[in-house]
Amino acid sequence: MTAKIISGTEIAERIRQELRAKIADLRSKGIVPGLAVVLVGEDPASQQYVRNKGKACDELGIYSRTIVLPADTTEEKLLSVVDELNKDPQVHGFLVQLPLPKHIDENKVLNAIDPGKDADGFHPVNVGRMLIGDPLFLPATPHGIQEMLVRSGNDPAGKHVVVVGRSNIVGKPVAAILMQKARGANATVTVAHSRTKDLASFTRQGDIVIAAMGSPRFIKADMIKEGAVVIDVGTNRVDDPTAKKGYRWVGDVDFDAVKEKASYITPVPGGVGPMTIVMLMMNAVTAAYRANGLEY
């Protein structure tokens, strides 16, 4: 079997169209949704993410503000910036790009964000609300994965989803979202990780496999059941002397081999990446509706 490609680029464009209508509706009421992003330091991958978020806002007509702070910014200073954004009425949602420099306590910063403006859904209140099935903001990458499954005709209801990776940003929340008694969920979920014994014996049971452990091309064809749906969350930069830039981006899945066995697969780039950005935009728009007492 050769897999059909689930194009995150195409699905994200369809969602952007839906968002354009919502943003026009808000603007007709005199409301401009606003999203702020705080970046501390000069990590090139983080700089790239933050640039992409700003571009996506501009393209949709979302007011965007990017606050770049030097790597030696104190925790106290960052907390005061968070406090200002909590109070700023032009900013409906915001996020602090992770990872933060080592001298800053990430949990302390996430705890300081107003849960009602937490566009990433990383505040413990929002993590808890997601888990109990009463979400306010869902984290963008796991929510994007759910949308890709549903919109490609692979509703996870009743399926066995095997998640590989247990990060707070992808593995844990995607498991929590897909196990809910809710539309686009109702899956049976297994979470495997770096300490799982005989990992392949688990991944081979997956009707849907979500690879989110950050190891280039780790998931091989013999680890996947024939006809499985494979979602690749990895973005790993690998050296490639034949590429113009000397490197290229690969996922956590050995794409060329796995696509001959899967029924559906997401590419890297052009898969989960574009979905993450558009789902963040959706959070900014829903935040603007909510802040004005309106239904999205």
Please give the residue ranges that form the binding site for ligand GUN (CB under 6 A).
95-98, 120, 140-141, 169
The DSSP output letter for 3 is P
CB of 38 to ligand GUN, least distance (A): 9
Which CB, 161 or 169, lies closer to ligand GUN?
A: 169
Which CB, 109 or 288, lies closer to ligand GUN?
A: 109
CB of 37 to ligand GUN, least distance (A): 8
| Catalytic residue from among 117, 118, 120, 172 | 120
CB of 296 to ligand GUN, least distance (A): 21
| Catalytic residue from among 22, 53, 117, 261 | 53
CB of 281 to ligand GUN, least distance (A): 13
Residue number closest to ligand GUN, CB atom? 98
Spatial CA neighbour of 95 closest among 80, 115, 71? 115
Residue 53 annotated among the catalytic residues of the structure? yes
Residue 134 annotated among the catalytic residues of the structure? no
Spatial CA neighbour of 127 closest among 172, 159, 60, 160? 172
Q: Is the bond preceding residue 99 a cis peptide, omega within 30 degrees? A: yes
Which CB, 79 or 98, lies closer to ligand GUN?
A: 98
Residue 48 annotated among the catalytic residues of the structure? no
Query: Is 248 strand, coil or helix?
Result: strand
Which CB, 122 or 264, lies closer to ligand GUN?
A: 122
Contacts of 83 (CB under 8 A, 6+ apart): 112
Could you list the beta-strand ranges (E) of the chain: 4-5, 34-40, 63-69, 93-96, 160-164, 188-192, 208-211, 229-232, 236-239, 247-250, 264-265
Which CB, 169 or 229, lies closer to ligand GUN?
A: 169
Buried b (16+ CB within 10 A) or exposed e, 190-205: bbbeeeeeebeebbbe
Alpha-carbon 217 to chain mean position: 20
Spatial CA neighbour of 46 closest among 10, 1, 96, 112? 96
CB of 260 to ligand GUN, least distance (A): 30
Q: Which residues are catalytic?
A: 53, 97, 120
